[in-house]
Amino acid sequence: MRNYFYNLAAAKPEGNGLASDSQSHKPEGNACLPARQGLASNSQSHQKKGCLASIIRLFLLVLSCFYGLLIRILRLFYSRAPLRFNCKVISVGNITWGGTGKTPLVECIARYLKEKGHKIAILSRGYKRKNRPLRGAQIASSKTMGDEPYMLSRSLGSVPVIVDAQRARGAAWAVKGYGVEAVLLDDGFQQWRIKKDLEIVVIDAASPFGNRHMIPRGVLREPLSALRRADIFVLTKINLLSQDTSALRDFLRLMNPQAEIFESAYEPMGFYLVSSAGRDDSQPGRGALLNVDALRGKTVTLVSGIANPDSFEHLIRRLGIGIGLSFQFPDHYAYQEPLMEDIVKKSRAQNIDTIVTTEKDSVRMPAKTSGAQISIFALRIELKITNNEKEFFNRISGVFTN
């Protein structure tokens, strides 16, 4: 498999993640120098690089300390008198930067509450959207709503998805405009201004806390002591782990003995046809959901712009699908037609006629992408609670009886 990594500055490959046999490897240093001189030169070069790396780490650590202090001040200020609303508030969030599975869990909970007949709304910030707040009246697009809210609107149908950076204002509108019984806060752990009835913290079991440093030295959005605010921990991506979660569970119990711990996994539901030969791409949208085994045995090109592309690749391989090429982009990447044309060209050069992407990425791809040459499928996944599922949903339902 050949990997391509793209940066935001230009839609050009920065190089291959894996070296092919045809690639040449140039020796470091000056090959014309005597052996000792060349070794000394390399040693000095490594020392300089090591010194520079240490300086950068120290600088980032100082910034992390200032960031942590600012977060503590803001949390103390906003949590002194949290806002209350005439509805129940269920928060789903995380303590780290990046994709842990918050939105799939929000969808899982929303689907359950909808089936139970509860009138709910979802509140989202709508990361990287390009317009004013949306109040859930209609499904717009990923550009106007943001990727996650758009996906939630499309999947849940009648459940209003309110997009507003000021979540308190969105909650007030949900009560006033829709008369909801409850609101779900997508990415709500850092919403200290809002009084919550249930605080759910999502943790990526494969990489729980990074290097345990605050942003920007690490990925923590709050100090680990913030875990004490959680009512429930949900560990995600359990099916992608090679080891058990006992050490992580022990740490969470040490930090917060009262919180319950549940595990979850991504369950592939099937593939949507996004673009293909003979399809009218002037009417964008997803086709019928194909069986999860529809692409088994094929070799495909993967395209992903998510926080953890490795987990996506692992999931595809578990479905018995071969990966010929893999293109990885930054999270929330906005795909343009020339770039997609380049991906199609590279795929066809390898005799690959199928591109597979995530559902999140598919909503950001141009409506027409060389449909006559290649088929593009999006993998549909849902999050499932894998242990004590009944107990988990009892806790959710219990919010309405307290």
**10: helix, coil or strand?**
coil
Same domain, yes or no: 141 and 255:
yes
Q: Could you tell me the CATH number of the domain that includes residue 116?
A: 3.40.50.300
Centre a 10 Å sphere on the Cβ of residue 182 and count the other Cβ atoms it contains: 22
Binned at pLDDT 50, 70 and 90, residue 372 comes out as low
Interval 73-90: pLDDT, tens: 999 999 998 999 999 999
Of the chain, the percentage scoring pLDDT greater than 90 comes to 63
Same domain, yes or no: 95 and 197:
yes
Interval 216-261: pLDDT, tens: 999 999 999 999 999 999 999 998 887 889 999 999 999 999 999 9
Residue pair 319/296 in contact (Cβ under 8 Å)? The answer is yes
Same domain, yes or no: 247 and 374:
no
Same domain, yes or no: 197 and 142:
yes
What is the pTM for the complete model shown? Answer: 0.82
Interval 32-51: pLDDT, tens: 434 444 545 566 666 767 78
For residue 148, the surrounding DSSP H or E stretch is helix 147-156
The mean per-residue pLDDT over the stretch 182-202 comes to 97
**273: helix, coil or strand?**
strand
Q: What is the pLDDT of residue 243?
A: 82
Q: Could you tell me the CATH number of the domain that includes residue 316?
A: 3.40.50
Going by C-beta distance under 8 Å and a sequence separation of 6 or more, which residues neighbour residue 20? 2
Interval 325-369: pLDDT, tens: 999 999 889 899 999 999 999 999 999 999 999 999 998 888 766
Q: What is the pLDDT of residue 18?
A: 34
Closest among 151, 144, 149, 148 to 130, alpha carbons compared: 144
Same domain, yes or no: 243 and 322:
no
Same domain, yes or no: 183 and 282:
no
Cα angle vertex 265, ends 109, 205, to 5°? 105
Closest among 317, 401, 315, 304 to 359, alpha carbons compared: 304
User: Which stretch of 118-132, 193-207, 335-349, 375-389 has the lowest confidence by average pLDDT?
Assistant: 118-132
Does 21 reside within a domain? no
Q: What is the pLDDT of residue 136?
A: 59
More confident residue, 72 or 282: 72
Q: Per DSSP, what are the bridge partners of residue 262?
A: 234
User: Which stretch of 234-243, 366-375, 376-385 has the lowest confidence by average pLDDT?
Assistant: 366-375
Same domain, yes or no: 255 and 131:
yes
Q: What is the pLDDT of residue 27?
A: 36
Does 16 reside within a domain? no
Instruction: Determine the distance from the C-alpha atom of residue 162 to the mean position of all C-alpha atoms in its chain, rounded to a whole number.
Output: 19
Same domain, yes or no: 234 and 306:
no
Phi-psi bin for 370: left (phi > 0), alpha (psi -120 to 50), beta? left
Domain carrying residue 111: 88-266+385-398
Average pLDDT of every residue of the chain: 85
Interval 63-122: pLDDT, tens: 999 999 999 999 999 999 899 999 999 999 999 988 889 999 999 999 999 999 999 999
Same domain, yes or no: 306 and 243:
no
